[in-house]
């Protein structure tokens, strides 16, 4: 069929083309994923200036109109899909298929989907003219006029088709219902041309790369993540098999209007400005690995369409609709934003305006207080640096004034790459003063994880220590760069140039100080309670780290939950050995000190460092991660009598991040005999959720999972039962003993996930609740037991099993230090495999020795689990922030390779 199609088009015989398509409606689909009856052809009168008067052009397009008719329902709207270069309407086949799926019909009704082949592209007519951006927008308008397309219409675009679809949208506002975009750009916005396009435009390369050869097409098709199947590659190549049919590909590249004097630049400028006034819902799906339309274009689009919902698919590239399923979420979004025209409130996050107290309230109330607010422990025992409440308040205002002078204003995102301590505390509260949004992606995520996080958040400003500035330069992190500290005079000029630094924090603070000392009062407008305040990144222990957005109200609610649960009154002296809590110290009115440790590596906290920090402020409260406390116990023998006394004066120890085993807690209790030991359960999305103390853990005893206690002040917990196939039944219950996903409701639950619309919708898909992704149950006393992650459930032939109870049983085997139980094999028939880390550690990973394997199997049987295999490993893969959460997903893949006799490598 392809050859016949091409011959007809070369003769520009519109009538025969229409006849051919009509005759082929019942033929087998010529390309994978395309139904033959979707193919259409239309003769369209042209009003383009490049065509003589009276010219008609022949368009090929895909249209699911007959599928809609077969449903017996009227379409609820039309998606007008525009491809870019060098693809064609085939790109949108999943939208055509999903538009009349049972799920879409049940959600509101069928959608008509029209995917065009632009002129000179796909199987549309080759016009032998050079069509510029204005012509292409005009061409699309001619097409929709000829089709008599009526609203509501959703424009959908990709690549340069995104710009063209938006041009159409600005000229058809009366029909426009919404805008959907995938990797595209609407303006250079001060950027230079991406290297790939520079090469494609170079006179020595352009014609050969885009037209004479198939290089441009093959490179584009090679961007698939994962690689495109061979038949899909063939389908994308089908319209462009000859040099003559690739002329439009070359012309499209040549019409990229990056230069200000380019003929298409006026149209580009007009469209990019006009879309700012499109008051319709917008959705953007993005592949961050795109080498051309990178995140910088997403950030630019968000300044023009600030109402847009965004989902970034980590790992996806330019052909995002090939890399990931965008069809299902597109129609779910359309149902929510177009059909209902109302976003349902999330009762899991609902709070009222009553009782809100700013995070700055405590700081503002202590402007004349000369007592200590923040203490830095200087490295290697070289004493301390302290700041009083009055000094902290003054410095926060001075720095805020300096930052504002540089351009940091309300709503701007500021990435803070500074270790906990006085500098970070001052920066955090200066940003809160301005209403700027702090972005916290700590080095504990690892270089790759932190880079993904920073690029995903897209900060406007980046403030960092020298090492962070070097990373920003190396990995091209976004944001105006500010050095956290002054450089030495001898190197200042060179390093400012090297790192492209606009200012240093001491300089900005000095600028603000000048204004204050001049007697000019700096006035700051209090940020709105429901304005975004922070983007905090998760640990990345269950996939790429996710940005969690908190408003000012929700940050304050987190503070209030901690204050009410643990009676943290003003005057508390807090050792923040767990970085997130350093943020809350001043808001609690607590004197705060960070121990001498690498906060990105919790295991670097020693007993001596913890004791010295406690002594420096006469600490009453200690926050520390489980991994940190492990090392504190391991190094306790080094404590002097004075250091022991400092720890004995601590009244409360909190450990968050992962559960602590009872023996470790009891060892910590020996170090701090007068402290109440609490292990709150929570997550970046809601901290804390429940709480339990050491006596409570003892009273709960051994059970299926880890007992994490009862809900904290303001929080509610329920369970969504798990079905036999591992899916969740969306009927929350508090019935004792029912295993399922843990659901949370609290004023301090996150506002949303940042630029992860799909993830956010999934997390709130049970109305009124945040779905935690953890699995567990409630007991008869109302206590919550955590049994692992939903992703770690084993779906075996005899039903569903959670891993934690078996892991706890196995860890009671004398030679076992840590254990993980994972499922290997297809869902529904998985085999249970235990992987153990031993004491001493094994030198070679593999099958466990028979005596150990027997003991492990017997331990697992005590909780009703029959193991299929037992493996030993030298060290468990864990998340890099806490050093305590075992990555069961990696272990499952590793065990599968190991048991299959393949080269397993490291998990």
The class that CATH gives domain 567-679 is alpha beta
Residue of 903 and 767 predicted with greater confidence: 767
Q: Reply yes or no on whether the pLDDT at 650 is more than 50.
A: yes
Which pLDDT belongs to residue 348? 67
Q: Which of 331, 335, 313 is nearest to 322 (CA)?
A: 313
Q: Reply yes or no on whether the pLDDT at 717 is more than 80.
A: yes
Q: Cα(613)–Cα(608) distance, rounded to whole angstroms?
A: 9
**Do strands 799-801 and 176-182 pair parallel, antiparallel, or not at all (unpaired)?**
unpaired
Q: What are the start and end residues of each CATH 3.40.50.980 domain in the chain?
A: 386-527, 567-679
Q: Reply yes or no on whether the pLDDT at 288 is more than 80.
A: yes
DSSP 3-state assignment of 241? coil
Alpha-carbon distance values, 415 to 395, 583, 594, 608, 611 (Å): 19, 14, 20, 32, 31
pLDDT tens digit string along 469-479?
999 999 999 99
Q: Reply yes or no on whether the pLDDT at 464 is more than 90.
A: yes
Sheet holding 706-711, edge to edge: 681-683, 686-691, 706-711, 784-789, 770-778, 740-745, 716-721
State both tokens at 243: 């040099």
Residue of 431 and 905 predicted with greater confidence: 431
The pLDDT > 70 percentage for the chain reads 93
pLDDT tens digit string along 3-24?
333 333 333 333 334 444 433 3
Q: Reply yes or no on whether the pLDDT at 330 is more than 50.
A: yes
DSSP 3-state assignment of 311? strand
CB-CB contact of 885 with 879 (8 Å): yes
| Domain 793-907, CATH | 3.30.300.30
Which pLDDT belongs to residue 626? 87
Sheet holding 591-594, edge to edge: 384-388, 372-377, 591-594, 573-577, 621-624, 652-655, 676-678
CATH topology of domain 386-527: Rossmann fold (3.40.50)
Q: What are the start and end residues of each CATH 3.30.300.30 domain in the chain?
A: 793-907
User: In DSSP terms, which residues pair with 887 in a beta bridge?
Assistant: none
pLDDT tens digit string along 154-168?
999 999 999 999 999
Which pLDDT belongs to residue 4? 33
Kind and range of the H or E run holding 824: strand 816-824
| pLDDT confidence tier of residue 266, bands split at 50, 70 and 90 | very high
| pLDDT confidence tier of residue 342, bands split at 50, 70 and 90 | low
Q: What is the DSSP string of 779-823?
A: -TTS-EEEEEEGGG-EEETTEEE-SHHHHHHHTTSTTEEEEEEEE
CATH topology of domain 2-339: Rossmann fold (3.40.50)
Q: Reply yes or no on whether the pLDDT at 28 is more than 70.
A: no
State both tokens at 182: 């995938």
Q: Which of 368, 317, 365, 481 is nearest to 414 (CA)?
A: 481
Q: Cα(66)–Cα(528) distance, rounded to whole angstroms?
A: 50
- Most confident option among 175-179, 579-583, 846-850: 175-179
Sheet holding 831-838, edge to edge: 816-824, 831-838, 869-873, 846-847
| pLDDT confidence tier of residue 349, bands split at 50, 70 and 90 | low
Q: Reply yes or no on whether the pLDDT at 344 is more than 60.
A: no
CB-CB contact of 480 with 406 (8 Å): yes
State both tokens at 114: 């029209």
Neighbours of 18 (CB within 10 A): 16
CB-CB contact of 137 with 167 (8 Å): yes
Which pLDDT belongs to residue 881? 45
Q: Which of 72, 71, 95 is nearest to 83 (CA)?
A: 95
3-state secondary structure 104-164: HHHHCCCCEEEEECCCCCCCCCCCCCCCCHHHHHHHHHHHHHHCCCCCCEEEEECCHHHHH
State both tokens at 86: 């060098």
Q: Reply yes or no on whether the pLDDT at 481 is more than 80.
A: yes
Which pLDDT belongs to residue 18? 40
State the Cα torsion 185-478-482-359 to the nearest 10°.
100
CB-CB contact of 582 with 423 (8 Å): no
Q: What is the DSSP string of 69-97?
A: HHTTS--S-EEEEE--TT--GGGGHHHHH
Which pLDDT belongs to residue 696? 96
Q: Cα(2)–Cα(36) distance, rounded to whole angstroms?
A: 13
Calculate mean pLDDT across residues 345-356: 59
Where residue 411 falls (left for φ over 0; alpha for ψ -120 to 50; beta otherwise) is left
Which pLDDT belongs to residue 759? 97
Burial category of 333 from C-beta neighbours within 10 Å (exposed 0-12, middle 13-18, buried 19 and up): buried
CA 164 from centroid of its chain's CA atoms: 29
Q: Which of 865, 867, 883, 864 is nearest to 875 (CA)?
A: 883
Radius of gyration of the chain (CA): 30
Calculate mean pLDDT across residues 744-757: 97
Which pLDDT belongs to residue 827? 86
Q: What is the mean pLDDT of the chain?
A: 91
Helices (H), 500-584: 505-517, 552-566
CB-CB contact of 847 with 871 (8 Å): yes
Calculate mean pLDDT across residues 721-745: 95
Q: Cα(112)–Cα(74) distance, rounded to whole angstroms?
A: 9
pLDDT tens digit string along 614-640?
999 999 999 988 888 999 999 999 999
Calculate mean pLDDT across residues 232-240: 96
Calculate mean pLDDT across residues 89-103: 98
CB-CB contact of 650 with 685 (8 Å): no
| pLDDT confidence tier of residue 144, bands split at 50, 70 and 90 | very high
Helices (H), 542-653: 552-566, 585-588, 607-617, 626-634, 641-648
Neighbours of 394 (CB within 10 A): 18
DSSP 3-state assignment of 61? strand
CB burial readout 32-49, b (16+ within 10 A) else e: eebbebbbbbbebebebe
Q: Reply yes or no on whether the pLDDT at 880 is more than 90.
A: no
Calculate mean pLDDT across residues 883-888: 68
Q: Which of 28-37, 423-432, 697-706, 728-737 is predicted with the least confidence, judged by mean pLDDT?
A: 28-37
Which pLDDT belongs to residue 901? 83
**Do strands 676-678 and 461-464 pair parallel, antiparallel, or not at all (unpaired)?**
unpaired
Which pLDDT belongs to residue 29? 61
Q: Which of 201-215, 305-319, 463-477 is predicted with the least confidence, judged by mean pLDDT?
A: 201-215
- Most confident option among 91-105, 368-382, 784-798: 91-105
| pLDDT confidence tier of residue 347, bands split at 50, 70 and 90 | low
Which pLDDT belongs to residue 20? 41
Which pLDDT belongs to residue 879? 55
Q: Cα(397)–Cα(387) distance, rounded to whole angstroms?
A: 14
Q: Reply yes or no on whether the pLDDT at 26 is more than 60.
A: no
Residues listed for the chain: 907
CB-CB contact of 553 with 894 (8 Å): no
Q: Reply yes or no on whether the pLDDT at 270 is more than 80.
A: yes
Greatest extent of the chain over all pairs of C-alpha atoms, in Å: 98
Kind and range of the H or E run holding 745: strand 740-745
pLDDT tens digit string along 495-525?
999 999 999 999 999 999 998 998 887 899 9
| pLDDT confidence tier of residue 82, bands split at 50, 70 and 90 | very high
Q: What is the pTM of this model?
A: 0.91
User: In DSSP terms, which residues pair with 771 in a beta bridge?
Assistant: 743
Residue 124, preceding peptide bond in cis (omega within 30° of 0)? no
């Amino acid at each position: 069929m392809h050859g016949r199609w091409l011959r007809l088009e070369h003769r520009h015989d519109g009538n025969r083309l229409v006849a051919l398509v009509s005759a082929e409606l019942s033929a087998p689909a010529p390309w994978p994923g395309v139904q033959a009856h979707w193919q259409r052809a239309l003769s369209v009168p042209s009003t383009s200036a490049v065509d003589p008067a009276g010219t008609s052009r022949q368009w090929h397009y895909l249209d699911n109109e007959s599928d809609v008719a077969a449903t017996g329902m009227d379409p609820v709207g039309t998606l007008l899909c525009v491809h870019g270069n060098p693809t064609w309407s085939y790109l949108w086949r999943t939208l055509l298929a999903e538009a009349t799926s049972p799920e879409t019909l049940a959600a509101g009704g069928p959608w008509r989907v029209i995917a065009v082949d632009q002129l000179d592209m796909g199987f549309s007519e080759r016009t032998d003219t050079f069509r510029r951006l204005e012509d292409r927008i005009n061409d699309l308008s001619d097409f929709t006029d000829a089709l008599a397309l009526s609203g509501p219409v959703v424009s959908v675009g990709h690549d340069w088709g995104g710009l063209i679809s938006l041009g159409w949208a600005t000229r058809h506002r009366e029909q426009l219902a919404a805008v959907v975009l995938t990797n595209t750009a609407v303006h250079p916005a001060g950027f230079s041309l991406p290297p790939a396009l520079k090469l494609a435009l170079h006179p020595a390369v352009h014609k050969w790369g885009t037209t004479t050869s198939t290089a441009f097409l093959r490179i584009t098709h090679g961007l698939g993540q994962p690689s495109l199947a061979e038949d899909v590659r063939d389908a994308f190549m089908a319209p462009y098999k000859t040099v003559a049919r690739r002329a439009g590909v070359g012309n499209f590249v040549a019409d990229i209007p990056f230069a200000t004097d380019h003929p298409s630049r006026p149209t580009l400028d007009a469209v990019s400005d006009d879309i700012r006034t499109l008051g319709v819902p917008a959705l953007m799906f993005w592949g961050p690995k795109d080498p051309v339309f990178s995140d910088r274009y997403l950030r630019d689009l968000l300044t023009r369409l600030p109402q847009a919902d965004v989902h970034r698919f980590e790992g996806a590239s330019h052909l995002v609709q090939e890399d990931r399923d965008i069809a299902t979420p597109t129609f779910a979004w359309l149902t929510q934003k177009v059909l209902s025209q109302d976003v349902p409130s999330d009762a899991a996050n609902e709070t009222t305006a009553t009782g809100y107290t700013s995070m700055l309230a405590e700081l503002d109330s202590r402007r004349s207080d000369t007592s200590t607010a923040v203490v830095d422990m200087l490295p290697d025992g070289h004493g301390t640096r302290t700041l009083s409440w009055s000094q902290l308040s003054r410095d926060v205002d001075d720095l805020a004034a300096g930052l504002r002078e540089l351009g940091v204003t309300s709503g701007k995102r500021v990435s803070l790459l500074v270790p906990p301590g006085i500098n970070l505390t001052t920066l955090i509260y200066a940003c809160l003063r301005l209403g700027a949004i702090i972005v916290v992606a700590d080095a504990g995520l690892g270089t790759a994880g932190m880079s993904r996080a920073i690029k995903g958040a897209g900060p406007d400003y980046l403030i960092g220590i020298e090492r962070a500035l070097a990373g920003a330069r190396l990995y091209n992190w976004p944001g105006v760069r500010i050095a956290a500290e002054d450089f030495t005079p001898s190197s200042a000029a060179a390093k400012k140039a090297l790192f492209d630094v606009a200012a240093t924090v001491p300089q900005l603070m000095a600028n603000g100080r000048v204004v204050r000392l001049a007697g000019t009062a700096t006035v700051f407008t209090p940020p709105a309670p429901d304005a975004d305040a922070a983007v905090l990144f998760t640990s990345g222990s269950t996939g790429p780290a996710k940005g969690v957005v908190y408003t000012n109200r929700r940050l304050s609610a987190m503070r209030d939950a901690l204050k009410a649960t643990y009676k943290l009154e003003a005057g508390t002296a807090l050792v923040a050995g767990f970085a997130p809590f350093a943020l809350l110290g001043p808001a609690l009115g607590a004197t705060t000190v960070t121990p001498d440790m690498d906060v990105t590596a919790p295991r670097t906290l020693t007993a001596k460092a913890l004791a010295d920090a406690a002594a420096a402020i006469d600490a009453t409260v200690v926050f520390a991660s489980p991994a940190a406390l492990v090392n504190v116990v391991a190094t306790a023998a080094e404590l002097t009598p004075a250091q022991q006394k400092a720890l004995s004066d601590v009244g409360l120890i909190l450990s968050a991040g992962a559960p602590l085993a009872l023996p470790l807690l009891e060892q910590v209790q020996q170090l701090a005999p007068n402290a109440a030991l609490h292990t709150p359960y929570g997550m970046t999305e809601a901290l804390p959720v429940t709480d339990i103390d050491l006596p409570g853990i003892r009273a709960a005893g051994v059970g299926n999972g880890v007992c994490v206690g009862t809900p904290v002040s303001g929080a509610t917990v329920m369970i969504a039962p798990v079905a036999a196939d591992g899916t969740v039944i969306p009927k929350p219950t508090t019935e004792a003993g029912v295993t399922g996903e843990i659901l949370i409701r609290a004023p301090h639950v996150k506002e949303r996930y940042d630029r992860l619309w799909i993830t956010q919708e999934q997390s709130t898909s049970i109305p009124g609740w945040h779905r935690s992704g953890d699995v567990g149950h409630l007991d008869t006393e109302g206590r919550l037991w955590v049994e692992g992650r939903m992703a770690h459930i084993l779906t075996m032939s005899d039903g569903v099993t959670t891993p934690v109870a078996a892991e706890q049983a196995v860890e009671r085997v004398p030679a076992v230090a840590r254990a993980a139980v994972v499922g290997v094999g297809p869902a529904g028939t998985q085999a249970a495999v235990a992987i153990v880390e031993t004491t001493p550690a094994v030198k070679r990973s593999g099958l466990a020795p028979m005596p150990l394997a027997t003991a492990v199997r017997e331990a697992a049987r005590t909780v009703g689990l029959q193991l299929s295999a037992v493996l030993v490993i030298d060290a468990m893969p864990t998340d890099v922030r806490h050093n305590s959460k075992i990555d069961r997903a990696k272990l499952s893949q590793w065990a599968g390779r190991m048991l299959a006799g393949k080269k397993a490598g490291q998990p």
